């Protein structure tokens, strides 16, 4: 099976063409093997490019542990670059079917701009029934932190701090992810430091993947959360561990737009 290794701001993926290749029957075991950084290719997620009856393509997303993901912002930028580079389309603007709905990436020179859609604030991904959960005191790991909840097709818990420490990200992050009493489907966790009205620093603990160098849906959710907390303007640069993303939550259509890079690292063939 042919694959391409790609990354967006260090959030890395194994991309597989399922239009011209058959997928294995046991995808969970396959993804665990491929995602392993010692015994496989190694990646945060596996992206499957498949045919769609309602869009140009379908993107299926699996974590390295075999669990499915609704949406991935860095992943969809890589997927858009992949289908163009591989000659699977001549379009620069795409409609891509995901478990979070139709997402619309556009190739803009060396970058990819993605219409991430509208944020949502009341979902089955958390147990609070507030119209919006903004700066809510939340007790975890023996401390109380403020959280803001935003769904970008997948769930995000955003928390603003003066410092982004390992104690927070590596210690508190997995505890929040696995707090099934409040987050029955688990949740992604973003720790954010405000730099200015137009800049944020971000570290992320991703559901099913651990700390990653970047998260596009997490950056989108963090942009929305920063506006809701009156910390920034609607257009911001977010500095992630693996690079920068440009985010804008537009008033005109209530959609979040994300712009960033997508790079190919290498190509290969998976052994049986």
Instruction: Give me the architecture of the 2-115+261-269 domain, per CATH.
Output: Roll (3.10)
pLDDT per residue of the chain (272 residues) written in tens, 0 to 9: 999 999 999 999 999 999 999 999 999 999 999 999 999 999 999 999 999 999 999 999 999 888 999 999 999 999 999 999 999 999 999 999 999 999 999 999 999 999 999 999 999 999 999 999 999 999 999 999 999 999 999 999 999 999 999 999 999 999 999 999 999 999 999 999 999 999 999 999 999 899 999 999 999 999 999 999 999 999 999 999 999 999 999 999 999 999 999 999 999 999 87
Residue 244 in contact with residue 237, Cβ under 8 Å?
A: yes
In whole angstroms, give the CA distance from residue 21 to residue 6: 19
In whole angstroms, give the CA distance from residue 97 to residue 162: 38
Residue whose C-alpha is closest to residue 60's, from 95, 30, 8, 18: 18
How does pLDDT run across 47-104, given as a tens digit for each residue? 999 999 999 999 999 998 889 999 999 999 999 999 999 999 999 999 999 999 999 9
- 2-115+261-269 shares its CATH topology with 136-254: yes
**CB < 8 Å & 24+ apart, contacts of 237-241:** 237/198, 237/199, 237/200, 238/199, 238/200, 238/201, 238/202, 239/195, 239/199, 239/200, 239/201, 239/202, 240/9, 240/10, 240/202, 240/203, 240/204, 240/213, 240/214, 240/215, 241/10, 241/203, 241/213, 241/214
| pTM attached to this predicted model | 0.92
Q: Which residues are catalytic?
A: 72, 215
Q: Which CATH number fits domain 136-254: 3.30.360.10, 3.40.50.720, 3.10.310.10, 3.30.300.180?
A: 3.10.310.10
Q: What is the dihedral of CA 67, 175, 191, 132, to 10 degrees?
A: 80
The domain ranges of the chain are 2-115+261-269, 136-254
């Amino acid at each position: 099976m042919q694959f391409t290794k790609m990354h967006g701001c260090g959030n890395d993926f194994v991309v597989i063409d399922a239009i011209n290749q058959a997928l294995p029957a046991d995808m969970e075991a396959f993804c665990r093997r491929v995602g392993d950084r010692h015994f496989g290719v190694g990646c945060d997620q596996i992206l499957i490019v498949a045919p769609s009856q309602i869009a140009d393509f379908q993107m299926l997303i699996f974590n390295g542990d075999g669990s499915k993901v609704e949406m991935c912002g860095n992943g969809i930028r890589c997927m858009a670059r992949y289908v163009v580079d591989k000659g699977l389309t001549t379009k620069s603007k795409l409609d891509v079917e995901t478990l979070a709905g139709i997402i619309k990436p556009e190739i803009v020179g060396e970058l990819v701009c993605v219409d991430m859609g509208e944020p949502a604030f009341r979902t089955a991904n958390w147990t609070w029934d507030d119209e919006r959960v903004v700066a809510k005191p939340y007790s975890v790991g023996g401390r109380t932190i403020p959280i803001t909840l935003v769904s970008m097709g997948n769930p995000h818990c955003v928390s603003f701090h003066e410092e982004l420490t390992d104690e927070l990200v590596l210690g508190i992050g997995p505890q929040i992810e696995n707090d099934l009493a409040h987050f029955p489907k688990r949740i992604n966790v973003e720790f954010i430091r405000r730099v200015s009205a137009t800049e944020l620093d971000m570290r992320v603990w991703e559901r099913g993947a651990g700390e990653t160098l970047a998260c596009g849906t997490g950056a989108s959710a963090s942009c929305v959360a920063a506006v809701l907390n009156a910390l920034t303007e609607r257009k911001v640069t977010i500095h992630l561990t693996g690079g920068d993303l440009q985010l804008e939550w537009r008033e005109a259509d209530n959609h979040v737009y994300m712009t960033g890079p997508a790079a190919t690292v290498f190509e290969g063939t998976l052994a049986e």
